[in-house]
Structure 1
Amino acid sequence: MSFLTLAPRTTPSGYLLPSIHSAAPLFTQQPNPNTQAVVTEHWTKLILSYARHRRLFILRVEDAEAAGNDWDEILRNEQINRRLLPSHLVYIMADMVAKNRAVYEPARQTRSVLLYWRTPEEWAEALHGWADSTGQLNMILTFYDIIEPPVPSPLSGIPMTLLRKAITVLAKTSRAQIIWVADGEGVRFLAGNTNK
């Protein structure tokens, strides 16, 4: 019988899996609450880091139920014949929501989360920085202009829910103003006072 060495390895997408991903106990829900807390923290870091690497925003319980999705590289480890069970993923997602590292999306269900690999506050700073660097302060932009800009940006593809939260953060600091336009909602980014 051969033993796998716990070593980092690179996935086909170029993500560097930490060595803990080769430890079978990571894939099993632990009966000891302290041990499970450690396992959950490892999974949370892994999920958020991988989501950032792949620019994934949504994680669903179904991603652990069936193979062939964007999450296979981390929810499964064929080398040790392990996969994260859906019930374990439900537990991890609930912990992430409780610690404000994700929110249930859509609301009022527990099978799908919007991941905060950047917090709404971090997205707000990225959004304002993008508007400033592209010369779009004081211009009215539709939400579509931000999500699907003509030139790809760090905000391309951001879910509407997350975009709204980021704009709300900026509005509270007088650096954005929501405006109704013919196509729906728009936003005007303002220089604002960043010393608040």
Structure 2
Amino acid sequence: MEVQDRGSDFKFPAFYSFPPSFTRQPIPATREKQIRLWGDLIRDYCQHYRIFWLDVAQAAASPLFNNQAVSRRLSLEDARFFLGELVSRGDAEWDQNQQRCLIYWRRPAEWGGLIYDWVESVGRNGTVMTVYEIRLGEETKGEEFFNLELELTLKALADLEVTGKAAVFGTERSDQLGVKFL
């Protein structure tokens, strides 16, 4: 879990200072609210620090799941549970081993929309670019999708392909894939 310096500290929501929040609640209605609160916190935290892949073990030891001010932390089991709930609502995706989650603080379709809006604004329709140029190129510096995680970029481009706005070509899932914007 690589945290990028965003210039200011993250502001945790009020429930984060309430010790019972760090224990999975047994009453279904309370647990549902707790699931929503933790899901929103995980997404907001990851967005603030531009974290795309959240490693469960690292996150369990990080400030995200460990509030030293109230001497409470989520257990590894509960961290997995809340991440699993985030996956079930479509805001994250497990890796093969369920050790890391790809967090969708923006869903792939939203990233695709941002990429396509940029393509249109700079007149790149009908041109071919590499995934590298989209993610890390000079032209995209300063765009929200600059330095977007590769897997998420590929998912965003696949969504654009399904909607008929792009054609992705190549066989290896890498920065070397070509993309023609339609």
**Correspondence for 2:43:** 48
TM-score between the two structures when normalised by the length of structure 1: 0.80
**Correspondence for 1:160:** 150
Out of 55, 60, 68, the residue aligned to residue 60 of structure 1 is: 55
- Residue 88 of structure 1 aligns to a residue whose secondary structure is helix
Larger Rg: 1
Q: Single out whichever of 17-26 and 145-154 deviates more from structure 2.
A: 145-154
Out of 78, 82, 85, the residue aligned to residue 68 of structure 2 is: 78
Distance (whole Å) between structure 2 residues aligned to residue 53 and residue 44 of structure 1:
14
- Residue 113 of structure 1 aligns to a residue whose secondary structure is strand
Out of 174, 180, 185, the residue aligned to residue 164 of structure 2 is: 174
- Correspondence 1:59-138 to 2 at 5 A: 59-66=54-61, 72-105=62-95, 107=96, 109-138=97-126
Distance (whole Å) between structure 2 residues aligned to residue 157 and residue 140 of structure 1:
19
Distance (whole Å) between structure 2 residues aligned to residue 79 and residue 133 of structure 1:
47
Out of 15, 22, 27, the residue aligned to residue 27 of structure 1 is: 22
- Residue 177 of structure 2 aligns to a residue whose secondary structure is strand
- Residue 30 of structure 1 aligns to a residue whose secondary structure is coil
Shift of 1:177: 0.9
**Correspondence for 2:3:** none
- Residue 73 of structure 1 aligns to a residue whose secondary structure is coil
Q: Partner amino acid for 2:42?
A: I
Deviations 1:51-79 (A, max 9, x none): 1111111112112443xxxxx33322111
- Residue 187 of structure 1 aligns to a residue whose secondary structure is strand
Distance (whole Å) between structure 2 residues aligned to residue 179 and residue 118 of structure 1:
24
Identity %: 30
Unaligned runs of 5+ in 2: 1-6
Distance (whole Å) between structure 2 residues aligned to residue 132 and residue 98 of structure 1:
33
Shift of 1:129: 1.0
Shift of 1:111: 1.9
Q: Partner amino acid for 1:32?
A: I
Distance (whole Å) between structure 1 residues aligned to residue 98 and residue 169 of structure 2:
33
Answer 1 or 2: higher relative contact order, Cα 8 Å, separation at least 6. 2
Whose helix fraction is larger, Structure 1's or Structure 2's?
Answer: 2
Equivalences, count? 171
Distance (whole Å) between structure 1 residues aligned to residue 59 and residue 27 of structure 2:
23
Distance (whole Å) between structure 2 residues aligned to residue 62 and residue 134 of structure 1:
42
Distance (whole Å) between structure 1 residues aligned to residue 100 and residue 28 of structure 2:
24
Runs (4 or more) in structure 1 with deviation over 4 Å come to none
